[in-house]
Amino acid sequence: MNALFKDRKNLVASVGVLALVVAILCVVIPQALTMRQPDLIHQGPGVTEVRKLSDFFDGIAGTSGDTEVYVLDSGKPGASALLLGGTHANEPAGYLSAVLFIENAVPATGKLYVIPTANASAMSHTDYMEGTPRRFAIDTPAGPRSFRYGSRATSPADQWPDPDIYVHASSGQRLSGSETRNLNRAYPGRVDGTFTEKVAFAITSLIRKEKIDITIDLHEASPEYPVVNAIVAHNRAMKIASIALLNLEMDDIPIGVEPSPTNLRGLSHRELGDATNTLSLLFESTNPAQGRLRGVINEALIVEGKDEMYLAAHKLGRLFVPFGPQGEPLKKRVARHISTTQAVFDAYASEMPERHVLVGAMPSYQELLDKGIGPYLQSPKTAAGAAPRAPQQLAEVPERRGLAQ
Ligand SMILES: [Zn+2]
């Protein structure tokens, strides 16, 4: 009798736990699935064509690795450049800088290709055990506009399981198994490789087929990471990186230049420069939301970049960049990426004046610091049929130092 009572009690408890789990899943799964929906990105006045990454390698067609490639063609001679945002989808300055180029830029010479979510799968989920918000909002004049905050790596829903050891295919370099889903360890990619290697191969194919002169991979890093507020350049791109550094320093934008290590394999700045004719560079800005020393991660930390723990670490001399009470706001990190991109284009043209990607109608570093990102984003209601904001007045493109026009 006692055993029967105990069994019934266990059964009731089990059914209760099961019901609780089902209830939690009913709330969590629909929320998680919203991350599979891409953010709206408006085609700005300079966009002449929107292609798919699978146009350059059909092995990713129909998968969540396929993504938009925005083309901004001036129709006039010049160089061609590729901007990659969202290689690591938890580094929002790269993603938003790409969005600002798509929604504002008007090239006067040359051709610009922009992929805002280079690893589209990584944008569809968050990192485990980190408690990161799935979204953050930027205030625009027409109201808040929401963007996804994703993960460093491809979603396990698209590539699973991880091996114990990830072996980089063309070099044999061995890394932790989780790096098998890191796009920036997968270059130059493989036709018959993993999901992530196929995405890398599609980007490499685009660079080859479109004869991209300059490739810039936009990233962020934590303040305790040694390479931060920096350009990492392939050896063939070191000269233009150094010229860009001088011009940025003259504009009071402190930045470092690091040569791409020859023995660190799979990264864009190494493999794309080795495997193609492009000049390959990677930028790092400072994102306290990524670091291990941070406190709670929330929308405020992502957007405003203020953190008491990093302030304390700075006072103890433990960081590689200055970190004050004003933090490292997203608008400043985006301003840094946009200014550095244009400084690299100008540096390239200072070597070959006829090969310029002269991009007008972009906000300046100071404008972004003063007004924030919001005024340069389209209305969040544009998707519902509202008229898109008029393009920024096409400001005269300032003559850069050292540029013979
Ligand atoms: Zn990164």
pTM to 2 decimal places:
0.90
Please tell me whether residues 194 and 235 are part of one structural domain.
Answer: yes
CATH number, domain containing residue 239: 3.40.630
Please tell me whether residues 70 and 137 are part of one structural domain.
Answer: yes
Please tell me whether residues 182 and 209 are part of one structural domain.
Answer: yes
Please tell me whether residues 24 and 134 are part of one structural domain.
Answer: no
321 part of a folded domain: yes
Contact 79, 348 (CB under 8 A): yes
300 part of a folded domain: yes
Distances (CA, A) of 29 to 25, 128, 154: 6, 15, 18
CA of 21 to the centre of ligand 1 (A): 35
Please tell me whether residues 127 and 59 are part of one structural domain.
Answer: yes
Looking up tokens 């946009």, which residue turns up?
338
CA of 42 to the centre of ligand 1 (A): 25
CA of 85 to the centre of ligand 1 (A): 10
CA of 404 to the centre of ligand 1 (A): 35
181 part of a folded domain: yes
CA of 87 to the centre of ligand 1 (A): 7
Helix H or strand E encompassing 2: helix 2-33
How far is 235 from 132, CA to CA, in rounded Å? 36
pLDDT at 2: 66
How far is 265 from 184, CA to CA, in rounded Å? 9
CA of 278 to the centre of ligand 1 (A): 20
CA of 221 to the centre of ligand 1 (A): 6
Task: Please tell me whether the peptide bond between 161 and the residue prior to it is cis, using omega within 30 degrees of 0.
Answer: yes
Phi, psi values for residue 372, rounded to 5°: 85, 180
What residues contact residue 254 under an 8 Å CB cut-off, 6+ apart?
229, 248
pLDDT at 12: 86
Please tell me whether residues 28 and 158 are part of one structural domain.
Answer: no
Q: How many domains does the chain have?
A: 2
10 part of a folded domain: yes
CA of 230 to the centre of ligand 1 (A): 12
Q: Is 78 left (phi over 0), alpha (psi -120 to 50) or beta?
A: left
Contact 222, 269 (CB under 8 A): no
394 part of a folded domain: no
Rg (CA), the chain: 22
Please tell me whether residues 17 and 155 are part of one structural domain.
Answer: no
Host domain of residue 29: 1-37
What residues contact residue 336 under an 8 Å CB cut-off, 6+ apart?
93, 229, 253, 255, 283, 285, 365
pLDDT at 264: 94
Please tell me whether residues 264 and 376 are part of one structural domain.
Answer: yes
CA of 88 to the centre of ligand 1 (A): 5
Token couple for 22: 């089902």
Series of mean pLDDT values for 10-residue runs along the chain (405 residues): 73 88 80 83 95 98 97 95 98 98 96 98 92 94 95 96 97 96 98 98 98 98 92 98 97 96 96 98 96 92 95 92 93 98 96 88 96 93 49 42 31
Please tell me whether residues 111 and 258 are part of one structural domain.
Answer: yes
Please tell me whether residues 28 and 58 are part of one structural domain.
Answer: no
Token couple for 310: 């990093």
pLDDT at 231: 98
CA of 296 to the centre of ligand 1 (A): 21
CA of 291 to the centre of ligand 1 (A): 12
Please tell me whether residues 223 and 292 are part of one structural domain.
Answer: yes
pLDDT at 6: 76
Interior angle at CA 48, CA 43 and CA 53, nearest 5: 80
